[in-house]
C-alpha cells in the first residue's frame, strides 16, 4: 500500500501509523534495490535541503547528504557555529527564513522543542536527525535491517539493553509498539523510561497486538530475543554523567554470555553507532570502562551493525522522497 505523506514533517514515530511506517520501510527497500541496480530516479531534483547540526554526526549527516545528492537535491550543511540559531536569532525566526529558501530542513540538536518549533514555522517538511528525546530516522534503519533478516516485524522479540531512558530507547519503544513487537527495555531501575511515554506506547501496543516489558532482570528481558540492541551509556551532552553510568550499566554490557542467554542462535545484534567496543578511540582511552558491548559480539556472527548503518541512507532517502519528492 502507498500512502501520501507529502508535506509532512518527521519528528517522532508517534505521528505515523503502523501502515505509514511500513510504507516508508518498503520504500527504503525499493530505493536500496534501485541504487544497487544503478537506477537514479532524481525524485528530489531542484530541491534545496538545509542540514542543521548542533551536535556532531557521522552517519546522519553523511546519509542525508548522499541521499539528497542521489535524488538530485542540493544539501547545505549548517553547523552550530555557522548560523545564528538560538544565539542571535530565535528558532522561530530562523524557521521562517530557512523555510523561504529551502524545500526541506533536517535538524539535529539538543532540545526536542527546537525541532518542533522549526516544523511549526518553517512551512516546509522538517526531519528530526536526533534530539535529546527522540531519534526516529535511526529506528527506520533498525527496522529495515530486521526486515531484511527476518522478513517481518510483528511478533519480533526485541530487547533493548542499557540506558532505558535515552533517545534511542524512547524511539524504539514507540516504533516497536506501533509495529506489534514484543519489546523489552532491560536496564537498571534508575534508568527506566518516563512513565508517561511507557503508557503512551502501551496504548500503541494494544492496537497493534504488541507487548512492552520494562525490567531490570537481564535473564527475563533477553530470553528468546530475536534482536539484542544497545546504545552508548552516556549520550551526547551527558559527558558529566559518565562515571555514574559506568557503575549503573556495567552489569548490562552486551557480552557473549548475554547473547547466549537469549537461547536463540539466530539472534541479531544491533547498535545505532558510534559504539565503545574496544579501547581504540580517544574517549575510550580516557574512560576504559565505558564499553557497552564486548568486542567479540560487535565483530561476531550475530552482529549486523554495518548493514544497519548503511540502511541509514536508504531510510533517510525514503523519508525525504515520501515527504518532499515529486
Ligand atoms: N547513529 C547515528 O545517528 O550516528 P551519528 O551520530 O554518527 O549520526
Ligand atoms: N543516544 C546516542 C545516540 C547516538 C546516535 C546519543 O544521543 O548520543
Predicted pLDDT at 184? 98
- Buried b or exposed e, range 170-205, using 16+ CB within 10 angstroms: bbbbbbbbbbbbbbbbbbbeebbbeeebbeebeebb
From the candidates 132, 182, 226, 231, give the one annotated as an active-site residue. Answer: 231
Q: Whose CA is nearest to atom 3 of ligand 1?
A: 60
- Residue 269: φ, ψ to 5°: -105, 130
Pocket residue to mutate for ligand 1, from 130, 144, 304, 310, most atoms within 8 A of Cβ: 130
Which ligand 2 atom sits nearest the alpha carbon of residue 235?
A: 8
Q: How far apart are CA 307 and CA 145, in angstroms?
A: 7
> pLDDT, tens digit, for every residue of 67-121?
999 999 999 999 999 999 988 999 999 999 999 999 999 999 999 999 999 999 9
Predicted pLDDT at 14? 98
Q: Whose CA is nearest to atom 6 of ligand 1?
A: 57
> pLDDT, tens digit, for every residue of 269-309?
999 999 999 888 998 889 999 999 999 999 999 999 999 99
Mean pLDDT over 225-242 rounds to 97
84 is catalytic: no
Q: How far apart are CA 103 and CA 118, in angstroms?
A: 13
Q: What's the angle, vertex CA 204, arms to CA 136 and CA 226, rounded to 5?
A: 70
Q: How far apart are CA 267 and CA 161, in angstroms?
A: 14
291 is catalytic: no
> pLDDT, tens digit, for every residue of 195-223?
999 999 999 999 999 999 999 999 999 99
Burial (CB < 10 A; 0-12, 13-18, 19+), residue 273, is: middle
108 is catalytic: yes
Is it the case that residue 40 has pLDDT exceeding 90? Answer: no
Mean pLDDT over 40-49 rounds to 95
Please state whether the predicted TM-score (pTM) of the whole model is above 0.85.
Answer: yes
Q: How far apart are CA 115 and CA 123, in angstroms?
A: 13
135 is catalytic: yes
Give residue 182 CA to ligand 2 midpoint distance, Å: 23
Amino acid at each position: 500500500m502507498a500512502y501520501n505523506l507529502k508535506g509532512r514533517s518527521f519528528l517522532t514515530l508517534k505521528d505515523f501509523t503502523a501502515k505509514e511506517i511500513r510504507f516508508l520501510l518498503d520504500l527504503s527497500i525499493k530505493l536500496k534495490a534501485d541504487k544497487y541496480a544503478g537506477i537514479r530516479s532524481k525524485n528530489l531534483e531542484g530541491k534545496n535541503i538545509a542540514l542543521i547540526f548542533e551536535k556532531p554526526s557521522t552517519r546522519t549527516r553523511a546519509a542525508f547528504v548522499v541521499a539528497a545528492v542521489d535524488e538530485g537535491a542540493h544539501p547545505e550543511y549548517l553547523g552550530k557555529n555557522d548560523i545564528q540559531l538560538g544565539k542571535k536569532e530565535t528558532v522561530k525566526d530562523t524557521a521562517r527564513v530557512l523555510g523561504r529558501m529551502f524545500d526541506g530542513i533536517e535538524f539535529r540538536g539538543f532540545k526536542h522543542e527546537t525541532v518542533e518549533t522549526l516544523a511549526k514555522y518553517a512551512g516546509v517538511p522538517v526531519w528530526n536527525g536526533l534530539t535529546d528525546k527522540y531519534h526516529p530516522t535511526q529506528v527506520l534503519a533498525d527496522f529495515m535491517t530486521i526486515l531484511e533478516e527476518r522478513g517481518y516485524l510483528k511478533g519480533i522479540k526485541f530487547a533493548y539493553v542499557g540506558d532505558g531512558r535515552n533517545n534511542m530507547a524512547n524511539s524504539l519503544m514507540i516504533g516497536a509498539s506501533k509495529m506489534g513487537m514484543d519489546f523489552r527495555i532491560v536496564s537498571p531501575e534508575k534508568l527506566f523510561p518516563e512513565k508517561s511515554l511507557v503508557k503512551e506506547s502501551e496504548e500503541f501496543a494494544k492496537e497493534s497486538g504488541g507487548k512492552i516489558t520494562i525490567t531490570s532482570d537481564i535473564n527475563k528481558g533477553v530470553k528468546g530475543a530475536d534482536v539484542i540492541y544497545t546504545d552508548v551509556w552516556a549520550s551526547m551532552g551527558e559527558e558529566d554523567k559518565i562515571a555514574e553510568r559506568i557503575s549503573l550499566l556495567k552489569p548490562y554490557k552486551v557480552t557473549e554470555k548475554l547473547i547466549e542467554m537469549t537461547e536463540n542462535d539466530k539472534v541479531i545484534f544491533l547498535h545505532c553507532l558510534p559504539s565503545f567496543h574496544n579501547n581504540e578511540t580517544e574517549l575510550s582511552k580516557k574512560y576504559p570502562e565505558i564499553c557497552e558491548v564486548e568486542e567479540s559480539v560487535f565483530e561476531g556472527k550475530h552482529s549486523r551493525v554495518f548493514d544497519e548503518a548503511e540502511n541509514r541512507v536508504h531510510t533517510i532517502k525514503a523519508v525525504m522522497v515520501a515527504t518532499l519528492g515529486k
